[in-house]
Amino acid sequence: MVDASRHPKVDVRTYTEVERVEGFVGNFKVLLREKSRYVHEDRCNGCGECAQVCPIEVPNYFEMNLAPRKAAYVPMSQSVPLIYSIDMDACIHCYKCVDACGELDAIDFGMDDRLVWEDIGSIVVATGFDHFDPSVIPEYGYGRFPNVITAMEMERLNNSAGCTAGNLIRPSDGESPKSLAIINCVGSRDKRFNPWCSNFCCMYGIKNAVLLKQTYPDMDISIYYIDIRTPLKGYEEFYDRAREMGIRFIQGRPSLITENPETRNLYVHSEDMALGQVLEHEYDMVMLNQAAVPQPDVDTVSSVLNISQSPGGWFMEYHPKLRPMDSPTDGVFLSGACQGAKDIPSSVAQGSAAASRAGRVLHSDEWEIEPVVAMVWEDRCISADGKKCGMCSKACPYGAIEYEQGKPAKVVTAKCHGCGGCVAECPHNAITQMHFTDAQILAQIRALLANQPEEKILAFRCHWCSYGGADLAGTSHFDYSSNERGMRVMCSARMDSDFIYEAFRLGAGAVLFSGCHPQDCHYITGQPVGEKRAERLRKQFERMGMTPGRFRIEWISAAEGDKYAQVVNEMQELLDSIPKQKLLQEIEELRPQMEKRARRMREVPQVEEALEFADRLTTAMLNREAEVVE
């Protein structure tokens, strides 16, 4: 950290928050709030005179509130830069610090937060993780029994620079403990709190046990666990070493901790799997290995940076296997435990990868994106005529559409990821998506439903999930109805209601609307846009009197080939159960309504015309590209 702060090309801004991020990859504009320390950074030399005279003591967060700090403080002795701050929530304005600072004159009570705009090429998010608060698990008595401590508290108690100068003592009486129980999976692998495995606690518990055993060889240490997970290089050997040192490993998750009210010793109730017996062992101290959880402000960070979250609140990566260090937004990269609980080697590996990806942005003048971007057909956009709309801008998960009343909407191509949500939402047919134009999709629908449409199941699949699911069904040789006709679009948000109307107008037997599971969406909030539209359509068709199930909505992941096959087969069964005459009659009855609703079809009634439209668009694109080249 010290090296980084001294590097001429590294600018370390501490005590600073990112308020706003605008722009796109390579051209971000970032608004920083440099919080006021009430100390001039250029004048403070870190002598600590102010802290010495300060009369106010508050709990020290860095010492896990086991020790006090002054209202004039540095977070920890290794802080970089070593500049003191005044904690205004605690300060009583006695100004003793100002006197102590004397000629340096570094303390300024009139200071305010400073807002700074900076030009930034790429952003690496490394906001880390937080610890689960075990006091919400009543069985373990944390907060009620003084000798039940968390792993982080143990870390401070057993640190030679910590609040007890490395002397491990019991909080209840200050005695040195003779026995210790370490409990793993406190709040993790627990559906009531956090379903995930926190990844590093097994090794972390073993590390603490080994350190303590080295310092206090007579200490009786037991580790309670569900499974010990030591998959990486050297980990299993370390686990072996811990067992050889005499640390006792007990397989069985403790269900209860009780306390002897006189001695304040603790009884850990657990089953010993190997014995199949309930144990009730007495310990002087219990340490809880609490779960890693996302930072409490993940929602703010993800909305500022426009990145999505996986279930649970970890930041979502672009691709779990191939691009784990990229966020779904170009130019924003993820590093370390903010993306998911991980230990130091993995964090370093991911951080280095993210740094090299970020460097790639800085060193290139051009940025390659997927060609499936959206384009505004400016003469059709009603905003140009001064009318109020902005539907496209609202639908865009990336904020890539600049909308201002009176001007045609504008797509920032570098920001567009090509979900096509805006295209489907535009009520005036003024946006199109390259390679997924309305004309192309309509042409496909018409081709697929050209013969005996009443027998067909037209399936709209999103590129990332349900198309993969259908693919898996095929490669796994799961049988599904041969009447299914699949169509690929990038996202369920692109599945225009007009496509569905058109399919039914042409007499499709059934239509499947499929996409990613909620929160799995590749385009942050594409799936909810599609889901809302699909639900609206389903209700509309219900009112029209369509047989329920002819229009079906399913969320199918790329790993659910069996589900895809099952859904299609169920739809086929439904079609088989309707007598053909009745089905044809229903199609005929609904056709006028579909025709009425498929407004876009009135504007583009023939495929020939649609293709003409596509031609014009391509020409326009080419012309525009030619302009750019010039």
Partner 1 sequence: MNHSSKPETFADQVHAIPGGEHLELCYSCGTCVSKCMIQQKVEPEYNPRRLLRLVMMDMREEAFKSPTTWLCSACDLCYSACPQEVHISSVIGAVKQLAVEAGHESPLETVSVDESLCSGCGICVMVCPYEAPHLVEKEIDGEMDRVSEVDTNKCMGCGTCVAACPLGAIARPGVSNKEVRAQIDVPEVDGAPRLVVFVCDWCLRADDDVTLLESYPENVRVIHIPCTGRIDPEMALMALRSGIDGVLVCGCAPGECHYKRGTHVSTCKISLLNRMLDQMSIGDGRVRFVQIGTQDRGRVRNEVDATLKHLAPQKKEAV
When asked if residue 77 is in the footprint of partner 1 (CB under 8 A), the reply is no
Tell the smallest beta-carbon distance from residue 524 to partner 1 (Å): 30
Nearer to partner 1, 28 or 224 (CB): 224
Q: Where are the alpha helices (DSSP H) in 344-390?
A: 344-362
Task: Kindly write down the DSSP assignment for every residue of 66-102, as one continuous string.
Answer: SSEEESEE-SSTT-SS---EE-TTT-----HHHHHHG
d(CA 65, CA 70): 12
Rg (CA), the chain: 31
Tell the smallest beta-carbon distance from residue 135 to partner 1 (Å): 13
Q: Which residue in 262, 365, 366, 379 binds partner 1 (CB under 8 A)? A: 262
Q: What burial letters (b/e) apply to 313-322, b meaning 16+ CB within 10 Å?
A: bbbbbbeeee
Contact between 411 and 376 (Cβ < 8 Å): yes
Q: Which residue in 69, 131, 170, 189 binds partner 1 (CB under 8 A)? A: 189
Chain centroid, CA 223 distance in Å: 32
Q: Which residue in 258, 413, 440, 481 binds partner 1 (CB under 8 A)? A: 258
When asked if residue 554 is in the footprint of partner 1 (CB under 8 A), the reply is no
d(CA 157, CA 155): 6
Tell the smallest beta-carbon distance from residue 313 to partner 1 (Å): 19
d(CA 399, CA 307): 11
When asked if residue 254 is in the footprint of partner 1 (CB under 8 A), the reply is yes
Nearer to partner 1, 417 or 563 (CB): 563
296, with CB counted inside 10 A (0-12, 13-18, 19+), is exposed
Nearer to partner 1, 194 or 302 (CB): 194
φ/ψ (deg, to 5) at 159: -110, 130
**Strand pairing report for 457-462 and 510-515:** parallel
Torsion from C-alpha of 449, 451, 456, 461, nearest 10 degrees = -30
Residues 6+ apart with CB under 8 A from 231: none
Instruction: Tell me the two tokens of residue 628.
Output: 């750019």
d(CA 526, CA 422): 10
Q: Which residue in 196, 267, 367, 377 binds partner 1 (CB under 8 A)? A: 267
# chain residues binding partner 1, by CB under 8 A = 37
Nearer to partner 1, 65 or 251 (CB): 251
Nearer to partner 1, 121 or 171 (CB): 171
When asked if residue 185 is in the footprint of partner 1 (CB under 8 A), the reply is yes
Tell the smallest beta-carbon distance from residue 547 to partner 1 (Å): 24
Instruction: Tell me the two tokens of residue 265.
Output: 């010793």
d(CA 21, CA 479): 49
Contact between 201 and 185 (Cβ < 8 Å): yes
When asked if residue 181 is in the footprint of partner 1 (CB under 8 A), the reply is no
Q: Where are the alpha helices (DSSP H) in 363-415?
A: 391-395
When asked if residue 603 is in the footprint of partner 1 (CB under 8 A), the reply is no
Tell the smallest beta-carbon distance from residue 185 to partner 1 (Å): 7
Instruction: Tell me the two tokens of residue 21.
Output: 């991020």
Q: Which of residues 423-482 bind partner 1 (CB under 8 A)?
A: 478
Closest CA to 489 of 508, 470, 509: 470
Tell the smallest beta-carbon distance from residue 561 to partner 1 (Å): 9
The window from 91-99, 136-144, 172-180, 310-318 that contacts partner 1 (CB under 8 A) reads 136-144
Nearer to partner 1, 14 or 258 (CB): 258
Binding track, positions 371-410, relative to partner 1; x by CB under 8 A: ----------------------------------------
Q: Which residue in 141, 294, 420, 530 binds partner 1 (CB under 8 A)? A: 141
The window from 37-45, 168-176, 188-196, 548-556 that contacts partner 1 (CB under 8 A) reads 188-196
The window from 90-98, 134-142, 460-468, 609-617 that contacts partner 1 (CB under 8 A) reads 134-142
Q: In what order do the strands lie in the sheet with 16-24?
A: 16-24, 27-34, 114-120
Tell the smallest beta-carbon distance from residue 65 to partner 1 (Å): 24
Tell the smallest beta-carbon distance from residue 553 to partner 1 (Å): 22
Nearer to partner 1, 205 or 453 (CB): 205
247 SS3 class: coil
When asked if residue 255 is in the footprint of partner 1 (CB under 8 A), the reply is yes
Nearer to partner 1, 35 or 253 (CB): 253
Kindly report the length of the chain.
630
Tell the smallest beta-carbon distance from residue 270 to partner 1 (Å): 5
Tell the smallest beta-carbon distance from residue 253 to partner 1 (Å): 4
556 SS3 class: coil
d(CA 478, CA 279): 49
Q: What burial letters (b/e) apply to 165-186, b meaning 16+ CB within 10 Å?
A: eeebebebeeeebebbbbbbbb
Residues 6+ apart with CB under 8 A from 450: none
When asked if residue 71 is in the footprint of partner 1 (CB under 8 A), the reply is no
When asked if residue 192 is in the footprint of partner 1 (CB under 8 A), the reply is yes
Contact between 319 and 522 (Cβ < 8 Å): no
Binding track, positions 561-590, relative to partner 1; x by CB under 8 A: -x--xx------------------------
When asked if residue 279 is in the footprint of partner 1 (CB under 8 A), the reply is yes
Binding track, positions 299-338, relative to partner 1; x by CB under 8 A: ----------------------------------------
Q: Which of residues 210-239 bind partner 1 (CB under 8 A)?
A: 226
Contact between 269 and 253 (Cβ < 8 Å): no
Q: Which residue in 260, 356, 606, 618 binds partner 1 (CB under 8 A)? A: 260
When asked if residue 278 is in the footprint of partner 1 (CB under 8 A), the reply is yes
d(CA 256, CA 379): 70
Contact between 527 and 521 (Cβ < 8 Å): yes
Q: Which residue in 35, 253, 380, 599 binds partner 1 (CB under 8 A)? A: 253
d(CA 433, CA 446): 19
Nearer to partner 1, 74 or 266 (CB): 266
Interacting residues with partner 1 (CB under 8 A)? 138-139, 141, 144, 185, 189-192, 226, 251-262, 267, 269-273, 276-280, 478, 562, 565-566
